[in-house]
A = this chain, B = another copy of it.
Amino acid sequence: MKKYLVTPGPTPVPDSVLLAGAQPIIHHRTVEFSKLFRDVTAELQSVFQTKNDLFVFSASGTGGMESCVANLLSIGDRVLVVNTGAFGRRWENILKVYGLKPEVIEYPWGKAARIEEIREKLEENPEIKAVFTQLTETSTGVVNDIESMAKITAQSKAILVVDAVSGLGGQEIKTDEWGVDIVVAGSQKGLMLSPGLAFVSISKKAWNLIEESKLPKFYWNFKTYKKFFNEKGETPYTPAVNLLFSLHEALGKILEEGIKNVFTRHSLLARAARAGVTSLGLELFAEVPCDVVTSVKVPEGIDGISLIKRMRDEYGVSIAGGQREFKGKIFRMAHMGYMDKFDVIIELSALEMMFNKLGYKVELGKGVAAVEKEFLKK
């Protein structure tokens, strides 16, 4: 049975990207490698829309998140987490592990952060050094208003640290124009690559904090990465070279399509996915839905866990379920990275057939038609 991977990470990888990774390995202390690595870094800066320093770690996205905590802070620092779901909680957990006591503004799952609340918090507490949040919160399908948050932090001492692991390359973040101090991303989402690389961009304002930080770090130490990159175009420790070959190919594809066109495509797919599911009488879960994943409430009387399992087993179509307390209660369909119109069609078609089997009445073809209509709009 042919497999269709439409989960919000990992996402499908184009053949040319997979094959680029199958090239013979090169040594990471050579002119050849430095050229590749400088090129890839410049391409990443284009996608991040930044001229800031940008480092590449051989690690999962979580490693990139941890690197921010370890490099920016010292015991006793006041920090704020704007928590809109499972990955917001991850910021809290990492901070606690390092002995910090984060203050948290927590929103119910499905809701987006309220900008006014953050503004008040920072105005009342000017000693807060950093605000940690998510661009798109994959667990709920919500997008946060990073542009407005950055305006607030720009007027305070605090820096803004944004986990864009699930968003980058699909949901626009204008790092420099908006003034986002730190952006963390991973390879396996919008960047159309297999997992194993994390990226972190760092503003001048953030470097001031890094200079003062006393938390322990070795593998994650930004200063070591900066030194090796600036002096030699290299990484301090052996990097995942073949993933960098793949990354170069993937970024080339993104830049060839054009960043604006990439975002337009994601936005169209998201609108179409939402039109499709709502046409079937389903309800969206996210208050402010993002462009990379659509989260939907499982209708009354349907076993949400079985829905996802059977779609995978019987149709080869992998979507994601809810996490934690929303397991079985929502499902999440991705439209990011190496996905296009017919991936959304597949999602809707598989849903229609599975709902049919599960006894939830839908008119076959209705969801697909709604998607097609969006695509046909001028």
A156 within 8 A of B: no
Complex CA distance for A62 and B219, rounded to whole angstroms: 7
Is A3 touching B24 in the complex (CB atoms < 8 A)? yes
Contact B237 A194 (CB under 8 A): no
Query: Which one, B7, B186, B219, contacts A60 given CB within 8 A?
Result: B219
Contact A18 B24 (CB under 8 A): yes
For A19, give the chain B residue with the smallest CB separation: B22
Neighbouring B residues of A7 by C-beta, 8 Å: 27
Also in contact, A219 and B59, with CB within 8 A (given A188-B238, A238-B10, A318-B30): yes
A281: Cβ under 8 A from any B Cβ: no
Contact partners of A94 in chain B: CB under 8 A: 218
Asked whether any CB of chain B lies closer than 8 Å to the CB of A322, the reply is no
Least CB distance, A303 to chain B, in whole angstroms: 18
Question: Does residue A12 face the partner (Cβ distance < 8 Å to B)?
Answer: yes
The answer to whether B25 and A12 have CB atoms under 8 Å apart is: yes
Contact present for B10 and A241 (CB under 8 Å):
yes
Name the one of B11, B60, B237 contacting A237, with C-beta atoms under 8 angstroms.
Answer: B60
A66 touches B18 (CB 8 A): no
A5 with B21: CB separation less than 8 A = no
Find A238's partner among B186, B216, B221, B243 (CB 8 Å cutoff).
B186
Cβ of A155 within 8 Å of any chain B Cβ, yes or no, is: no
Residue of B nearest to A11 (CB): B25
Please give the count of copies of this chain that the complex contains: 2
Q: Which of A165-196 contact B (CB under 8 A)?
A: 186, 188, 194-196
Q: Does A248 touch B at the CB level, under 8 Å?
A: no
Asked whether A195 and B239 contact (CB < 8 A) given A21-B18, A22-B22, A219-B59, the answer is yes
Q: Is residue A376 contacting chain B, with contact meaning CB distance below 8 A?
A: no
> Is A98 in the interface zone, CB < 8 Å from B?
yes
CA distance A243 to B9 in the complex (A): 16
A365 within 8 A of B: no
Q: Report A21 CB to chain B, min CB distance, Å.
A: 6
Given A18-B21, A22-B19; A194-B63 close (CB under 8 Å): no
Tell me, yes or no, whether A23 is within 8 Å of chain B by CB. Answer: yes
Which residues of chain B are within 8 angstroms of A23 by Cβ–Cβ distance?
Answer: 18
Q: Is A279 an interface residue (CB 8 A)?
A: no
Q: How far is the CB of A362 from chain B (nearest CB, A)?
A: 25
Q: A61-B237, A62-B237 are in contact. Are A5 and B22 (CB under 8 A)?
A: no
Give the Cβ gap from A29 to chain B, nearest Cβ, in Å. Answer: 8
Interface residues of A in 1-45 (CB under 8 A from B): 3, 5, 7, 9-13, 15, 18-19, 21-28, 30
CA distance A292 to B137 in the complex (A): 47
Question: Nearest B residue to A194 by beta-carbon distance?
Answer: B242
**Is A215 in contact with B218, judged by CB distance below 8 angstroms?**
no
